[in-house]
Chain A
Amino acid sequence: MRALATAATGMAAQEMNVEVISNNIANMNTIGYKAQRAEFQDLLYQDVVRMGSQSSDTGTIVPTGVQVGSGVKPDAVYRITTQGSLTQTSNPLDLAINGQGYFQIQLPSGETAYTRAGNFSVNNVGTIVTSDGFTVLPQITIPQNATAVTISQAGQVQVTVPGQTAPQIVGQLQLATFFNPAGLDAQGGNLFLVSGASGPAVLGIPGTTSYGTLQQGYTEASNVDAVTEITNLISAQRAYEMNSKVVTSADQMLQTNTQMKQ
């Protein structure tokens, strides 16, 4: 009887489901966070009676075979890359992307990481950096005497310096898009790396079709929907319970076996 093992795969899958849901709920207020979803597939089937096989010498065919499945497996934890809502912060270096692009971040290792979290600041030499102090690419330095920073929807960074009426352009932000943003490799710290599944980064200027526009003074809230997560949590818990009922039932049948002959 494989019901015990089958139910165990079901319980393991629901356990993972709850882990993913709890991570979503924990990151409900993380800037730029994208909700994840555990996805499942059925496991291999054993053919007990193969459909389409010949059942007699006269050539009759088995119309419906008997295939017994062996449970479920998690096949992906998929990141749902839909737009999060924009929250106004009025901080001039908070940037939200309204579209599909990602900011490029230079990691201390020299690698380029990508993020949707645009809560930037300036470091001690005036460079625009992330909250961890990693440089935002292309590197842009704000002069020390600047009184105001304006970042346009197309990513042009302008500063106002005392004594000059016209604002000065100090840089142009670029965004990256991917064939498959769900395939990016999450690193924690709101950062992602390119992977074989995501495809290479395609760079472009904000404001062109798919890259999205920049909104200065806003951050992108996570796209986690609390109600969805809670309902998913309830259904995952119930599914876990049901799988445990299968274990109990299979156990009961085995117990019946042992009690048959006293």
Chain B
Amino acid sequence: MDNALYVGLSRQMTLQRAIDVTANNIANVDTAGFKVESLTVQEDPETPARAPATDPINYVLDKGLARNFGQGALEQTGNPLDVAIEGQGFFTVQTADGPRYTRDGRFTLDATGRLTDKEGDPVLDAGGGQITLDPQNGQPGIGKDGTISQISLTGQTLVLGKLGVVQFSDLTALSKQGDNLYAAAGGQLPVAATGARINQGMVEKSNVQPVSEVVHLIAITRAYESVANLITQIENLSESAVQSLGKAA
């Protein structure tokens, strides 16, 4: 009978983790390029609470994090260095720890004219090089394929590079780093993205759906309460068992 208590407890632990994930989604409702996450759970395959030949009783266990890489809405900002990816793919930035990948295309220039993200990490072009702009030339134009160009003082079009957009065969194996960056885990290498379109002057908003997150919140708290009820009932059951058996003796 104690097993029922622990099965209930295992569910409460996963529910607590689930509300942490939902809280993080809601906190990032305005974070550019953020992708909504949800916790998936499974019956613990290793250690059953009780193992009869048929119909075993299992604990519940965190299985993994499902990340919805669906397109976020594109918001027009008119800022020439805001770029948003339409379709699958990531921008590459060079951090101190190696290349990192992001959907957040709110870029800026540093003091030497290099194109960087908001942390100052240089944005890489398709060949893995950095991109440098000249403030004396006109406003940069970024094509649908990511080609960055400026008009020079003499009226010539200077092509400065092409934003590198990469893709991964297994999106679930990307690890989040914070700062809107992903790292490639499990040794997989990025490949050039096909079919991704770059939109200048746009920012990809977070794809968190506020309504469904609030629904999750309600479902989580109610499930938590019903498990608590179950635990109380199990306890009442043991209490009345002790009382009835005590009287009989």
Contacts and interface: CB of A to CB of B under 8 A. Distances in A.
B30 A239 contact: yes
A253 B16 contact: yes
B21 A69 contact: yes
B83 interface: no
A3 B135 contact: no
A1 B22 CA distance: 12
A249 B66 CA distance: 22
Nearest to A75: B118
Given A39-B106, A246-B217, A51 B111 contact: no
Nearest to B21: A68
B16 A65 contact: no
Interface in A170-207: 177-180, 182-183, 196-200, 202, 204
B234 to A, nearest CB: 11
A182 B179 contact: no
Interface string A197-225: 11110101000111000000000000000
B26 A51 contact: no
Interface string B67-89: 00000000001110000000000
A3 B17 CA distance: 8
Interface stretch (A4-12, A108-116, A119-127, A155-163): A4-12
Interface string B154-185: 00000000000000001011111111100001
B65 A1 contact: no
Q: Contact residue range for chain B?
A: 35 or more
Interface residues of A, number: 77
B228 A260 contact: yes
B3 interface: no
B186 A61 contact: yes
Contact of A210 (B28, B29, B118, B137): B137
B232 interface: yes
A210 B154 CA distance: 11
B159 to A, nearest CB: 17
Interface in A233-262: 235-236, 238-239, 242-243, 245-246, 249-250, 252-253, 256-257, 259-261
Interface string A59-80: 0011111111111100110101
A78 B23 CA distance: 26
Contact of A177 (B29, B136, B152): B136
Contact of B186 (A6, A39, A52): A52
A100 B151 CA distance: 14
A182 B77 CA distance: 14
B110 A13 contact: no
Interface string B12-30: 0001110111111011111
Nearest to B14: A66
B186 A180 contact: no
Contact of A65 (B65, B109, B111): B65
Contacts of B138: 209-210
B24 A6 contact: yes
Interface in B192-249: 210, 213-214, 217-218, 220-221, 224-225, 228, 231-232, 235
B143 interface: no
B31 A238 contact: no
A22 interface: no
Given A65-B185, A68-B21, A245-B214, 15 more contacts: A1-B19, A2-B23, A13-B30, A42-B178, A48-B17, A52-B186, A62-B64, A66-B17, A67-B65, A69-B176, A69-B178, A75-B119, A180-B111, A199-B113, A250-B23
User: Can you list the 3 inter-chain pairs with the closest CB atoms, starting with the nearest?
Assistant: A10-B27, A64-B64, A52-B186
8 contacts: A14-B30, A44-B178, A47-B175, A66-B65, A68-B17, A69-B28, A196-B111, A249-B19
Interface of B: 15-17, 19-24, 26-32, 34, 37, 39-40, 62-66, 77-79, 104, 106, 108-113, 118-119, 133, 135-139, 151-153, 170, 172-180, 185-187, 210, 213-214, 217-218, 220-221, 224-225, 228, 231-232, 235
